[in-house]
Amino acid sequence: MRIIYGVDVGGSGVKGAPVDVDAGKLTRRRTRVPTPQPSTPDAVFDVIAELVAGEVWEGPLGVAIPVVVTNGVARSAANVDPAWIGTDVRAALSERCGRAVVVLNDADAAGMAEMRFGAGRGRRGVVIVLTFGTGVGSAVFADGKLVPNTEFGHLTFRGKDAESLIAARLVEENDVSLKKWGGRVRSYLDGLCRVFSPTLIVFGGGISARFDDFAKLIEVDCEVVPATLRNQAGIVGAALAAVATE
């Protein structure tokens, strides 16, 4: 059993836990701290440093963040403070935490976990993993290989940024009924199916726990299944990414 610590930074919470990367499971219950507001890089880095303080493991720290990441540098900031753009997250966190850090997009991390241990395991062709929460994240795999930083939540949908109409927070905050939201999501998924011809869409995020309540509302010409790792996927994927870089 090999243990790596994984951190998943979201729009509302920063979650962390040690992960058995051979089994794809947390070795203990995750720790969750509300995302600082404003969610500046330094404020979030402080939270991450607190999460890992006193933890013991060998290898890098894996961190998933809700931005486009290239070579450890944040290139977008849709649901976090704009100060993230241009920040060398890998270098700053490595200095703060005193160890090597691997940084990747949060939806990519969740997708890696689902493809290795969850609903996408063993699936070939094009698989799209979507995470519905504060925003909408996406991870795309072609025959098991990740195409990073796809950001399908920011496609134009009905003349607007897609996540402004289909993020799960709209239902969770009672701004939109489940039926109306489901209709929007079905149209959105239908567009993805027509463009990418996926063999599978994995529906993730906390709202996937209610999948049976809205499954009929989002039926499209493609297999759609709920994620199996749910709110642990980002943590597990962050840890997997850390191992993959060694």
Q: 20-55 pLDDT, tens per residue?
A: 999 999 999 999 999 999 999 999 999 999 999 989
In this prediction, residue 246 carries a pLDDT of: 63
| Phi, psi torsion values for 17, nearest 5 degrees | -170, 155
- What is the domain partition of the chain in residue ranges? 3-105+232-244, 119-227
How confident is the model over 65-103, as pLDDT tens digits? 999 999 999 999 888 899 999 999 999 999 999 999 999
Q: For residues 54 and 138, which has the higher predicted lDDT (pLDDT)?
A: 138
100 exposure class (CB count in 10 Å sphere: 0-12, 13-18, 19+):
middle
Cβ–Cβ contacts within 10 Å for residue 194, how many? 11
Any idea which fold 119-227 has? Answer: Nucleotidyltransferase; domain 5 (3.30.420)
The mean pLDDT of 126-135, rounded to a whole number, is 95
Task: Give the pLDDT confidence score for residue 14 in this predicted structure.
Answer: 96
At residue 231, the pLDDT reads: 85
3-105+232-244 with 119-227: one CATH topology? yes
Provide mean pLDDT across the span 148-169: 96
- pLDDT over 70 percentage in the chain: 100
Position 134 pLDDT exceeds 90:
no
| pLDDT one-digit tens code per residue, 60-72 | 999 999 999 999 9
Tokens standing for residue 151: 């950001």
Beta strands, E only, the chain: 3-9, 13-20, 25-26, 31-34, 61-65, 69-70, 73-74, 101-105, 126-132, 136-142, 145-147, 156-157, 160-161, 200-204, 224-226
Q: What is the CATH number of domain 3-105+232-244?
A: 3.30.420.40
Average pLDDT, the chain: 95
Structure confidence by residue, pLDDT tens digits, 170-226:
999 988 999 999 999 999 999 999 999 999 999 999 899 999 999 999 999 999 999
